[in-house]
Chain A
Amino acid sequence: KNEVEQSPQNLTAQEGEFITINCSYSVGISALHWLQQHPGGGIVSLFMLSSGKKKHGRLIATINIQEKHSSLHITASHPRDSAVYICAVISNFGNEKLTFGTGTRLTIIP
C-alpha cells in the first residue's frame, strides 16, 4: 500500500462544476503539499498546509490531521484547470523528504 493515496485517479467534469480531489496518507506528517502539473511537465506548488484550511482564488485546500486526510476543492472550474493534481507529504520521522501520491488527472470540458 502506498503511503499516499489519491482519489479519483481521473476526473472529467463540465466547466463550472465544483471539483473535489482527495488525498489520504498513512504516516505522521509535518506538512502536506498540493501540486499542479500541466502538460509539458511544469509543476506549481499550490498549497502547503499542516492544519486547517487555506484558500487561494478558486482553490481551497483542507486537511484533517486526525483522519490523515486532505482535500483540494476547485470552485467554478474552468478548462484551464485541466492538469494533474498531486498530493505530497513530508513525514515527521526526522527527514524532510516528500512522498508523492500518484496524482489525479483532471479534465474540464467547456
Chain B
Amino acid sequence: KAGVTQTPRYLIKTRGQQVTLSCSPISGHRSVSWYQQTPGQGLQFLFEYFSETQRNKGNFPGRFSGRQFSNSRSEMNVSTLELGDSALYLCASSLVLGGTQYFGPGTRLLVL
C-alpha cells in the first residue's frame, strides 16, 4: 500500500497570504490528523477528521481550518499567514480513531 502523501512538500508564502495543504491517507484509513511542528513549540495537534467530520481540535486560532472529503483525503487551510506559522505541517492517517498513526513526509512552510 502506498503511504501517506502530502502536497506540496515545500512552500514559501508572504505574510497575509493564505495557503492550502493537502493530505492523502493510506487507502482504507478514515481518520486523518494534522500536526504543526516548530523548533520552539515542538509537535502540536491541530485537528482530526474522521468520516468527513472534525472530531477534535487543538488550541489554534480560527485562521487554521481543515476539511475531509468523502474519499478521506484532507486539506488544511491557513488564512492571513503570520511569520510564526512557518513550520513543518504533518498529516497522519489511521484506520480507526485512536489507532496507530502513519505519518506523511510533511509540508515545510516558510512565511516571509
Please indicate which of the listed interface residues B43, B100, B105 has the most CB atoms of chain A within 10 Å of its own CB.
Answer: B43
Give B78-96 as 1s and 0s: 1 = Cβ < 8 Å from A's Cβ atoms.
0000000000101010000
In contact, A98 and B105 (Cβ under 8 angstroms)? no
Q: Which residue of chain A has its CB nearest to the CB of B103?
A: A43
B93, chain A: closest CB distance, angstroms: 11
A100 at the interface (CB under 8 A from B): yes
**Which residue of chain B is the closest to A48 with respect to CB atoms?**
B100
Cβ A41 vs Cβ B101 within 8 A: no
A33–B100 CA distance with the chains assembled, in angstroms = 8
Given known pairs A31-B98, A43-B103, A44-B103, the reply for A100 and B55 (CB within 8 Å) is no
On chain B, the residues within 8 Å of A96 by CB distance are 48, 55-56, 97-98
Contacts between chains A and B (CB distance < 8 A), count: 53
- Expressed in whole angstroms, the Cα–Cα distance for A8 and B92 within the complex equals 26
Report A32-69 residues with CB < 8 Å from chain B CB.
Answer: 33, 35, 41-45, 48
- Chain A residue numbers with a CB within 8 Å of B99 are 48
| Residue of A43, A48, A90 most packed against chain B (CB within 10 A) | A43
Main secondary structure of the interface of A (DSSP, over half): strand
The reply to whether B56 and A41 contact each other, CB–CB distance below 8 Å, is: no
Interface residues of B in 54-79 (CB under 8 A from A): 55-56, 58
Docked-complex contact A100 and B43, CB < 8 angstroms: yes
Measured between C-beta atoms, what is the minimum distance from B103 to chain A in Å?
Answer: 4
CB of A97 within 8 A of CB of B101, answer no
A45-B100, A99-B45 known; 18 new pairs, CB 8 Å cut-off, are A30-B98, A33-B100, A35-B103, A41-B90, A42-B105, A42-B106, A43-B103, A48-B99, A88-B43, A90-B98, A95-B56, A96-B56, A97-B45, A97-B48, A97-B58, A98-B33, A101-B42, A102-B42
25 contacts between A and B (CB under 8 A): A41-B88, A41-B90, A41-B106, A42-B103, A42-B105, A42-B106, A43-B90, A43-B103, A45-B100, A45-B101, A45-B102, A45-B103, A48-B100, A88-B43, A90-B98, A95-B55, A96-B48, A96-B98, A97-B45, A98-B45, A98-B101, A99-B45, A100-B43, A100-B44, A101-B42
